[in-house]
Structures are given as structure tokens and as C-alpha cells.
Amino acid sequence: MPIIRVALNVPVDTLFDYQADDASERDIGLRACVPFGNKRVTGIIVTVCTKTQVPVDKVKTAYHIFREINPLTPALLELFQFCSQYYHYPLGMITMNSLPALLRNNKAVKLKDAAQTRWILTDLGKQIEINSIPARNRVARRLLSEFQIASALTRSQIKQISQRAIQLITVWLQLGWIVEMAAKAMPQSTERIPELTTEQVAAVSAVISDFAQFQTWLLHGITGSGKTEVYLRLIAYALAQDKQALVLIPEINLTPQLVAIFSARFPDVLLINLHSGCNDSERLTGWIRAQRDEAKIILGTRLAVFTPMPNLGLIIVDEEHDSSFKQQDGLRYSARDLAIFRARQSNIPVILGSATPSLETYFNATTHRYRYLRLTTRAVQNATLPDILCIDTRHHKMLDGFTEPLLKALEKCLTDKHQSLVFINRRGYAPVLLCKSCLWTAHCHRCSSRLVVHLKNRKLSCHHCGHQENFPLACPKCGNQDIVPFGHGTQRIEETLTTHFPSARILRIDRDSTRRKNAWQEILHAIHTQQVDILVGTQLLAKGHDFPNLSLVGILNADHSLYSTDFRASERLFAQLMQVSGRAGRANIPGQVLIQTEFPDHPLYHALRQHDYTALAQTLLAERKIAGFPPYVYQAILRAEAHNLETALDFLQQAKNLAPPLQAIELFDPVPAHFLRLKGMERAHLLIQSRSRKHLQSFLNDWYPKIYTLPHRKTRWMLDVDPIEP
């Protein structure tokens, strides 16, 4: 009797054996519906054998093996097993949660024909301006905006906009705005391919010369140096060999711009994007097309690293330094590190691109573990790096968050008809609601954080757990009615700018303003068509965006991170400021960056003014070597949370007592977490570190199973390998 060993989405690190009369080794990697307790569940077949350690009379029979899609490849199953072993997380939970949601249920998948009709804009349609469509026709405006961004749209993509959008297709066909064409009959690219700079030529040539083998490349290019063009040339080389390319990006908001660029360059290639904005059907369709080798370019956020690609030839990780590549709940994996593992598996190159590489990546490049490619000049002719100046707020009085030099620079920018960006990494109206009488401030009762004032809807909101409450009429502590918002967020900055520049067209961009579907596409279209004068934004605007008419960046409240106890804070602040500064002066317009700070002589700001990443990186690496921090050591954190801190600390102490004899391992005492309370739970952690990754993993392999033996009904715990959050 064949026995199938199935990985199930349960928090137990084992496989489950079932009888299956019709099973064979060809079924490895397929889904199987099996009994589990009194439920039916679906898992993935990992092995097929004839023996089991379970008594024969207790081995249950599988209900069904789903064979309507191709099985997961051995390489993908090996990736899941590596994840389980390295991050110490149950294999079944990794495997099932990497699949599209529609493959996790107990139903067969109904597949649609991948060859869909597409529509593209005609020359007449390309001449239509969005503003010529009445504002009340929001669906028509959104549909036109989508057509302008993408080279073609399918029926399913149009349905995502609105069911009514499909009805517009018939009308627009009659008007001659669009034309229908088969999916395989897409036109060749007509866009002018830019000439490469000398440095870009060297970078492309170096990678192509070693394209047939595994190699990790760090593409370290200043902002605006043309890293994307290097990606495009390498993707073109992979496509010429009939290979697939995986492009990982940190933020869903970068998708529209990159989709437009890739679609324009490769209009005859099927490109799919996989991210949290896709609905279940879209994600499944894209996943299957990648698995069938129909989709040649896969663009996605961190979860896309698990996409099945049988013919993978190239992996690109853009903005590799970004912390978004590290999952912070469940399986705490690094998509960047898994991309490197996957490239080694497939014996292909992986490109890590950034203007401000993480110190770990930079260290690996300077010690020759990675190959190092450098782009030091901007790709657009006559485009230069912006001038970065610090405004000393000890000498310049601030009015509503702005100094006079910054306000004058914004006014000049408006006069010159250039765009400007005011950057403040804090959304909402104000971070604090304060009683001037007793100094009471509004705190979240579930988290160790203050409630943020959202004045427009008269709400106080916690940006950690989502708790909301109404704006109080008086101080709940002393009854004083003089309670005021204190500090500045994007909404308050927008209000201030509207007061100072009433005729300016101001657009705020943060999590609140981009919640609506397709909001990003509309925002980007408005910026590129010069419908905006001043942008007010958070870190959403810091990465990857190219705004040719933007000449001024003003940065507010940057000093906050200098007070942080996190040893990575300086690295993150420098990367963030370097990225947002790079939005200015990317075309022929000179750029200027003004930073309001109390510490203009700080080494970080000095390096920023000099655009000298290398100097700061070497300084920070020297500090970390002395202190014994990564990349000179490898770390793991055992995290615990409970309804009270003592329970969490007690659990961690018990876990520490179970630790095997220490060899080249430092095991620290349990301590409360820096951010103590989150979503009603109090948190603590225990740090483990070693100068050897091998020794650390060996220790964790022995220790992890012992932690499972501890009673933990009152405690939730997880192991975080290679943590990036304190």
C-alpha cells in the first residue's frame, strides 16, 4: 500500500502519513485532501513510500489527490525544507502559506485559458487627456489611467477596476480609442532604448560574462545612476535564452512604475506581478502562469520568492537594503537571503541593487564574498547629484514645522514652476494629543505608544494595532478643555503649506491617502503630468520613484532617529535620507535638498552632504566590530509575549535553563522588549549570538525541540533568526 507523507498547515514540525491507493512518486509536490482530527484539510505530498512508523491500523486514507495543476518542483520543496531548517519553523506551515489562498482549501482548481484577449490604446486613444473626461466619471478616468500605465489590459485586469469598466470597452472600441488583439500578437517595443554609460556597460558585461553560473552581485549605484536600465539589459539577455526572470521589490507602491517600464521594454513578454494587492484569483492565475513557464518576468514583493519558476535564469533584488524584505511575523524569513539561496540552487546570477546597501551586503562585497559593481554618476546627461544643505534649527526659528529658508526655497520652486517634495516620516495630523494643564497625553491602552491625532475625522488612532477612538472634548484626567495636538504629521504639514501657498496644488502621499485601489496609479499620473506643485509624503516616496520635474526636497524631523537605542538606526536613517534626497535633480533640472536639524555637524549629515556612503559605512562597520554586532556576529532572538511581562520573562528563563552546553555561543539574560506592549500583549526576548553561523545553527537545532516541551499555554513564542528589529 503506497504511503504519502503530507505537509499540513499545523504548528507541528512533522509530516503526516496517509494511505493512498493510486499514489506514485510522480505525485510528490501535488496537493492532497486528507483527514486530520475531525476535519478535512489539504497539504502537499513531500514523499511517497511503502513503509510507515505509524501502526497500520491507525494510518488513515487520503480522500483525494489533486492532479489538475503541475506538482511543485523538487527545487521548490528543497527551498521549503531549507527554510524550515534554517528559520526553525514547521515545514507544513511554510509550504502551505507560500501557496495562493485558493490552493490551500479542499477544492479542485478551475483553470481558465491563459490566452486572453487584450486591448491596447490606439493613436487616437493616446491623445485623450484624463482631464477631458468629467470628474464624475471616475471609472472611465481610472480605466484610461490604467491603459496609459500598462501597454495592454486583459478582461480580468479591467474587472479589477470596476465591473462597469467592462461596459466601457464596447463604447471605446466604437470610438476608436482602443483596439483588440490576441495575447500572443503583442506589438514589438517602439520606445527608444537609452545609450548606456561606461559604468553601465561594464556592469552589464561583467554579469553576462558569468551568466551561466551562480554569483551574487552587489550593484551599488547612486540614486539616478540607471540601475533599472542595467536590470532591463540583463532581463533581455535572460529572455533571449528563453529563461524566466524574478524581480523582487520592497514595496507594492513601486509596482505601477516598474510594470510600465518593463511592459514598454518587453511588450511581447507575459509579465505578472504578485503582491498583497492581488486578489485570490489574480494571485492563483499569475502563480500558475509562472509555474507553466508562460510568464517570463515575475515582479513581486517578498512572498514572490516562493513562486514556482521551472526555467529561472536571473534574480534581481531591488533596494536590497530595505527592511520590508524581512517578514516580521509567522515565518520570519529574509526574501533577499532566500533569493540568494534560490540562485545557488539554480546555478544562476542574483543581483542585489541599492544606492545604500545594507552593511551586511556591503561587508560581503568588500570581503569578496559578493562581486562588487559600482555606478557613481547619474545616467541622464547633465543630471547631477543634488546639493544637500542643513538648516540649523537652533539658529532659525521654526513656524508650524518650517524654517524661513525652507519656506523661501519652496516659494522659489513654485515661481520656477518646478515640483518640490516635503518629507516627514510621520502620518496623521500630529503624533501627540496633549493637555497643557496636567501634561496628560493620549495613549493606546493596547500598545506602548501614543495615539496619533487624525483631525479630519476627529479620531485618535494607534498606528501599531489599529485601535481608534473619538477625539475627547476635555482632558479625561483633569477636565481641562484646552487639549491640543502637539508635533507634526503629514496632514498638519499639508494644512500649513496650504496656508502659506494657497494657490499651490498640494498632494499628500501616505498610507492613509493610498488605501483606495488604483490610488497609486492616479497619484503617479498626476505627478508626471505636472498636476502637482508640492508633494507631502512619508517613506512611501523615498524609494525608486523618478519625478523628472522635481527640484527641491525638504526634510523635516530627521533627528528623531538619532536618539534611538537600535544599533541599526543610523544605517536606516542614512539610507532613508539618501533615498529621498535622490528624488531631486534626476533630469536636467538641478536639485537641492534642505534638511532641518539641530545637529548639522553630526557625522551622518556630513556623509550625506558629501554623498559619501562608503565613509559612513566604514565608520559604522568599525563601531560594530568593536561592539560585537552583525555582520561580525550572527544572531537569533527568542521572542515571547503574554498578557503580563512576568509570564513572558519566566518562559524565557525556563528556555534558557534548557540550553545545551555552550560552545562558541553567547546566551544573554531575558529582558523586556524595547517596545514593551503590542496589541494587548507584553513582550520580552532573549538574545543568542555567535561568531560562527554554523555553531549558532547547531545550537538552535539542539535547543529548539527542547523549547517545545515547555508548557506555553499562557505564552506565545517564536524564534527570529537573523533579526533586524530589536
Q: What is the pLDDT of residues 10-19, one digit of tens each?
A: 998 899 999 9
| Residue 186, pLDDT score | 44
112 assigned to some structural domain: no
In 3D, which of 604, 608, 607, 615 has the Cα closest to residue 594?
Answer: 608
φ, ψ dihedrals at 5, nearest 5°? -105, 120
Domain stops at, among 158, 185, 212: 185
Whether residue 11 has a cis bond before it, omega within 30° of 0: no
| Residue 604, pLDDT score | 94
380 assigned to some structural domain: no
Cα angle 632, 634, 636 (rounded to 5 degrees) comes to 150
φ, ψ dihedrals at 604, nearest 5°? -65, -45
Length of the chain: 726
State the total domains in the chain.
Answer: 6
How many whole angstroms separate alpha carbon 595 and alpha carbon 577?
A: 9
Contacts of 124 (CB under 8 A, 6+ apart): 175, 176, 177
Query: In this structure, what CATH number is given to the domain that contains residue 685?
Result: 3.30.70
407 assigned to some structural domain: yes
β-strand pairing of 716-721 with 634-642? antiparallel
208 assigned to some structural domain: yes
Contacts of 14 (CB under 8 A, 6+ apart): 90
Residue 264 · residue 189 · CB < 8 Å: yes
Identify whether residues 438 and 318 lie together within a single domain: no
| Residue 521, pLDDT score | 74
203 assigned to some structural domain: yes
Q: In what helix (H) or strand (E) does residue 168 lie, and over which residues does it extend? A: helix 163-175
Identify whether residues 404 and 547 lie together within a single domain: yes
Q: In what helix (H) or strand (E) does residue 435 lie, and over which residues does it extend? A: strand 432-435
Contacts of 274 (CB under 8 A, 6+ apart): 283, 286, 287, 298, 299, 300, 301, 303, 304, 307
| Residue 385, pLDDT score | 86
| Residue 116, pLDDT score | 57
Q: In what helix (H) or strand (E) does residue 402 lie, and over which residues does it extend? A: strand 402-403
How many whole angstroms separate alpha carbon 63 and alpha carbon 20?
A: 8
Identify whether residues 45 and 8 lie together within a single domain: yes
| Residue 549, pLDDT score | 86
Q: In what helix (H) or strand (E) does residue 230 lie, and over which residues does it extend? A: helix 227-240
In 3D, which of 89, 172, 166 has the Cα closest to residue 133?
Answer: 172
Identify whether residues 358 and 480 lie together within a single domain: no
629 assigned to some structural domain: no
| Residue 413, pLDDT score | 93
Domain stops at, among 134, 156, 185: 185
User: Beta partners for 7?
Assistant: 44
Cα angle 480, 482, 487 (rounded to 5 degrees) comes to 130
Identify whether residues 299 and 203 lie together within a single domain: yes
Distances in Å between the Cα of 37 and the Cα atoms of 40, 41, 44, 52, 708 are 8, 9, 17, 19, 21
Q: What is the pTM of this model?
A: 0.87
627 assigned to some structural domain: no
Identify whether residues 593 and 616 lie together within a single domain: yes
Exposure class string for 194-211: b at 16+ Cβ within 10 A, else e:
eebbebbeebbebbeeeb
How many whole angstroms separate alpha carbon 34 and alpha carbon 19?
A: 10
φ, ψ dihedrals at 44, nearest 5°? -110, 135
| Residue 181, pLDDT score | 63
How many whole angstroms separate alpha carbon 567 and alpha carbon 557?
A: 20
Identify whether residues 274 and 415 lie together within a single domain: no
| Residue 115, pLDDT score | 44
User: Residue 312 has which C-alpha cell?
Assistant: 529561472
User: Residue 185 has which C-alpha cell?
Assistant: 500578437
Chain centroid to Cα 303, Å, comes to 9
| Residue 112, pLDDT score | 59
Query: In this structure, what CATH number is given to the domain that contains residue 42?
Result: 3.40.1440.60
Identify whether residues 238 and 331 lie together within a single domain: yes
In 3D, which of 400, 408, 665 has the Cα closest to residue 552?
Answer: 408
Query: In this structure, what CATH number is given to the domain that contains residue 369?
Result: 3.40.50.300
What secondary structure letter does DSSP report for 192? P
Residue 686 · residue 656 · CB < 8 Å: yes
Identify whether residues 396 and 508 lie together within a single domain: yes
* Strands (E) located in 236-395: 244-248, 271-274, 297-300, 312-318, 349-354, 371-375, 387-392
Residue 355 · residue 170 · CB < 8 Å: no
Model confidence pLDDT, tens digit, residues 550-604? 899 999 998 988 888 899 999 999 999 998 988 887 777 888 999 999 999 999 9
Within 10 angstroms of residue 695's Cβ, the number of other Cβ atoms is 15
| Residue 182, pLDDT score | 47
User: Residue 159 has which C-alpha cell?
Assistant: 474587472
User: Beta partners for 402?
Assistant: 399
| Residue 366, pLDDT score | 96
In 3D, which of 573, 627, 568 has the Cα closest to residue 599?
Answer: 573
Identify whether residues 169 and 203 lie together within a single domain: no
Helices (H) then strands (E): counts for the chain: 20, 33
Identify whether residues 353 and 204 lie together within a single domain: yes
| Residue 686, pLDDT score | 97
Residue with cell 523538487: 74
Burial class for 643, CB neighbours closer than 10 Å (0-12, 13-18, 19+): exposed
Long-range contacts of 615-622 (CB under 8 A, 24+ apart): 616/570, 616/574, 617/357, 617/359, 617/362, 620/359, 620/570, 620/571, 621/359, 621/362, 621/363
Identify whether residues 290 and 396 lie together within a single domain: no
Q: In the chain, what is the straight-line distance between the N-terminal and C-terminal CA atoms, in Å?
A: 51
Residue with cell 503574554: 642
397 assigned to some structural domain: yes
| Residue 117, pLDDT score | 67
Q: Which domain holds residue 171?
A: 118-185
Please identify every stretch of the chain with a pLDDT value under 50, giving residue numbers as ranges: 113-115, 182-189
What secondary structure letter does DSSP report for 681? E
User: Beta partners for 435?
Assistant: 483
In 3D, which of 216, 229, 237 has the Cα closest to residue 317?
Answer: 216
What secondary structure letter does DSSP report for 111? P
